[in-house]
Amino acid sequence: MGRHRSAVALVVLAQWLGTSLWFSPSGAADGLMAQLGIGAAAFGWLIAATQLGFIAGTLALAATGMADHFRASRIFAVSSVAGALANAALVTPGLGFESVWVLRFCVGLCLAGIYPLGMKMIVQWVGGKPAAALAWLVGMLTLGTAMPHGLRAGDAAWPWQAVVLGASALALVGSALVSWIGDGPFAVRATGRGGLPAGGLRQALAVPGFRAAALGYFGHMWELYAFWAVLPWLCRPVSQALAAAQGGSGPTVALLSFLVIASGSLGCVLGGALSGRFGSARVAGAALAGSGLMCLLYPLIPAEAPVWQLAALFFWGGCVVADSPQFSALSARFAPAAALGSALVAQNGMGFFISVLSILLLSHALPAWGVSAMWLLAPGPIFGLWALWPLLRAPVQRNPS
């Protein structure tokens, strides 16, 4: 048991190191934009390139069956090395915007072999009820999401090239770790050909528990990344109001954004601990209901009450991602064992595609509707709770802590 816990801790660490590639451009945004001579709108397309690459990579892994026909640790390690090289190439002198876009797309492809395969490795080490371990994994990923805002809040004066190369170095360390750890004792290898989409996906979705978990996850993803994407915009008036109330000094937008996103790490860990008593479905449902409530109520909080707005943002940030590892744990429980990797990568790919749509919708609605545009996120949690209802009604299946 001690060896299993050590392996899980190292997988979580390797996941955090590997997914640092995801957020490296955000930590180097000002320098990279100056180098390329682009503005914020064009930089947004670099972020989109990573998301699109991730979606393409997950669909390719699922369609080919690679996620189940090869060792998860091997895919993770190779993807980390390839992603580190593609990311490091960003510092090559003379690159234009198109070349950088392609490199970020390639990084997204590689991340498809890191994030969902890291989840599969967790399941292989802890068995069929990995909720608490997955909570730590997603919590570390959430902390990584917050780090670019933390760098800006700390006014780090590192050259942008150092930020990018540092992320690549971390990914190489993550690759070495998973190569050393290997797959866990609960690993199941697929024996046939082909991946999950087509017959395999229909087979998995035919399982009521997997279908409920996957659809609930899709509703969750409608809200999660769109909320993170517009969080600095939500924090700006709060920061200004608090500064005015304190005579011109107050928390910066970057600091507030960092703290709100980072609160999701605590939400993940707390949810993992509670899943041992209440089960993953009820923890996911409670988090989804909490964040959905904020979608509805936050636009109604008066601008003259910045403390209440800040409290709501912290509550929202803690709930909005706490359900993610619980949905993954549920999907892992109900997915066919031999198609576990393909099931997780397909579910992740579809979820991120949904998040791109909600980000685009919200970014176009904000200028016209203001904070009321946050109501557009509410259908995600509502749909997710509806999809999760069969599991919420079922007897509690407690997860081991």
Encode pLDDT of 22-60 as tens digits.
Answer: 877 776 777 888 888 887 677 778 878 888 999 999 888
Q: CA 238, CA 305: separation in Å to the nearest integer?
A: 9
| C-alpha of 12 from chain center | 14
Tell which wins on pLDDT, 18 or 302: 302
Question: What does the pLDDT read at residue 160?
Answer: 79
Domain parsing of the chain, residue ranges: 2-393
Two tokens, residue 374: 């946050």
pLDDT band at 349 (very low <50, low <70, confident <90, very high): confident
Residue range 243-265: mean pLDDT, rounded: 85
CA distances from 280 to 87, 329, 376 (A): 36, 7, 26
The predicted-structure confidence for 177-215, as pLDDT tens digits, reads as follows 988 887 766 555 555 544 444 445 566 777 889 999 999
In this predicted structure, the answer to whether residue 103 has a pLDDT above a threshold of 70 is yes
Pair 363, 225: CB distance under 8 Å: no
Residue range 350-364: mean pLDDT, rounded: 87
Tell which wins on pLDDT, 137 or 390: 390
Phi-psi region of 95 (alpha: psi -120 to 50; beta: other; left: phi over 0): beta
CA distances from 76 to 25, 257, 303, 331, 362 (A): 21, 30, 46, 20, 33
What single letter denotes the amino acid at residue 377? Answer: L
Q: How many CB atoms lie within 10 A of CB 278?
A: 15
Tell me the pLDDT of the chain averaged across its residues.
Answer: 84
CATH of 2-393, one of 3.40.1280.10, 3.30.365.10, 1.10.565.10, 1.20.1250.20: 1.20.1250.20
The predicted-structure confidence for 55-83, as pLDDT tens digits, reads as follows 999 888 877 777 677 888 889 999 999 99
Question: What does the pLDDT read at residue 89?
Answer: 95
Q: Pick the closest to residue 272 from 378, 126, 382 (CA basis).
A: 126
The predicted-structure confidence for 220-245, as pLDDT tens digits, reads as follows 999 998 898 888 889 989 999 988 88
CA distances from 193 to 100, 332, 334, 371 (A): 35, 21, 21, 49
Tell which wins on pLDDT, 223 or 130: 223
Query: φ, ψ for residue 186 (rounded to 5)?
Result: -100, 15
Question: What does the pLDDT read at residue 401?
Answer: 41
Residue range 309-337: mean pLDDT, rounded: 91
Query: φ, ψ for residue 272 (rounded to 5)?
Result: -65, -40
pLDDT band at 157 (very low <50, low <70, confident <90, very high): low
Write out the DSSP string of 181-237.
H---TT-----SSS-STTHHHHHHHTSHHHHHHHHHHHHHHHHHHHHHHHHHHHHHH
pLDDT band at 385 (very low <50, low <70, confident <90, very high): very high
Q: CA 334, CA 278: separation in Å to the nearest integer?
A: 18
